[in-house]
Structure formats: structure tokens, C-alpha cells
Amino acid sequence: MPCKSEYLQPVKREEESALVCYLLRYVGKTYAFSVPEHVENAMSVYGNDATLDIDTALLCKWCGAIGDTIYGDRSELGLEVALWYTKHQNADAQRIASEKLAREREEERKRALYKLTPKERLILGL
């Protein structure tokens, strides 16, 4: 049986990290931002999983600073940045809405539990 190497394939988070590093490098060079050294070193198929959240926040910040200019860049990478930023903004909006809903449900749960008598709480195992 021959050896196989599918375990060497990057996972989703590594693919996202590689993309974010690639876009950070492009945006940094195009719009004169200082690209962090770890981004330059992460230019591989695996990216840099350890700094993905930091890199994502930085790319989001840079895209916000560039503003609508980002949507006017018609180069292949410029379009890729615009697409990434649009998807990122949508994901952030969904995450914020989900977190707000979770907080509201937890507050409602606490209000409901507060109404219970000690005996009812004991019966429910609370």
C-alpha cells in the first residue's frame, strides 16, 4: 500500500489564515501600511493559525481606514479584498446579533429563575 499525504492538507482555519496574510500583504503594500513581520513569514499554504484573529482584526481595521476606495480597486487582489471585507462585515453583524440574542435570553432566564420560590428551585435542581 503506497504512502498517503492527505494529512498534510491545510484545514479551514489555516486556509483562512493564509488568505488573510496574503490580503494583508497586498493591502499593506498598496496603501502604504506597515506589514507585520509575522505576516511576511506566514506566506504559505498554512498561513499562521496562531495569529489569525489578530491578523483578521488588522485587515478589518485597514479596510475600514481605506473606506470605499477598497471597492474601486479593480485588480484581481483588490476585488478579493473587497469580497473578503464584505463577507467579514456580514459575519461580524451576524455574530453581534447572535451575542445580543444570547445576552437577552440569559437575562430573561435570570428573571424567570428569580421568580421561583426556594422550594421550586430545589425541585428543579437549581
CA atoms of 80 and 94, how far apart (whole Å): 21
For every residue of 5-29, DSSP letters joined together read -GGGSPPHHHHHHHHHHHHHHHHHH
Residue among 27, 29, 94, 26 nearest 65 (CA): 27
- The pLDDT value given to residue 7: 66
> What average pLDDT score do residues 12-27 get?
92
Judged against a pLDDT cut of 80, whether residue 6 lies above it is answered with: no
What are the pLDDT digits (tens) for 52-83?
999 999 999 999 999 889 888 899 999 999 99
CB-based contact 70:87 (threshold 8 Å): no
Judged against a pLDDT cut of 60, whether residue 1 lies above it is answered with: no
CA atoms of 124 and 55, how far apart (whole Å): 46
- The pLDDT value given to residue 86: 96
For the four alpha carbons of 42, 87, 93 and 61, in that order, the dihedral sign comes to positive
The reply to whether the predicted model has a pTM over 0.95 is: no
Q: Is 1 in a helix, a strand, or coil?
A: coil
CA atoms of 52 and 57, how far apart (whole Å): 9
| Contacts of 2-9 spanning 24+ positions with Cβ under 8 A | none
